Amino acid sequence: VVATMSGINNSLTYVGASSGVYLFGKIADNEALGWNAVLISWVAIAAGGMLVCFFAARPWKRFKAKMHRFLPGNGRGRRIGTKSAVELRCCL
């Protein structure tokens, strides 16, 4: 399960990078917009990512606290049967 999710995440990263190259190239080639618009869009995307992280911090802390109650060894990867605690954390 973890390897599948990692592979999906990696493939989406490549899709985003390849589409970003095309999109930012089109914006930069546009005479009305140019490189200033590319730089402004980069700042806007970074600010959007920062807002997502800011609003996700509190739910993530609650999730981590809940998982520490269920996992022995405080989620440091101690083995539980055939799966590690880190693998179980993703499935709960």
What whole-number distance in Å separates Cα of residue 10 and Cα of residue 78? 26
d(CA 24, CA 32): 14
Which one-letter DSSP state was computed for residue 1?
-
The phi and psi torsions of 88 (rounded to 5 degrees) equal -65, -35
Average pLDDT over residues 61-87: 63
pLDDT in tens, 13-55: 999 999 999 999 999 998 888 999 999 999 999 999 999 999 9
Q: Which amino acid is at 29?
A: D
First-to-last alpha carbon distance for the chain, in angstroms, is 12
Share of the chain above pLDDT 70, in %: 73
Cα distances (angstroms) measured from residue 61 to each of 1, 22, 54: 23, 37, 12
Q: Which helix (H) or strand (E) holds 83?
A: strand 83-84
- Whether the Cβ atoms of residue 5 and residue 91 lie closer than 8 Å to each other: no
Provide the mean pLDDT of the chain.
Answer: 81
If you compute the radius of gyration of the chain from its CA atoms, what whole number of angstroms results? 20
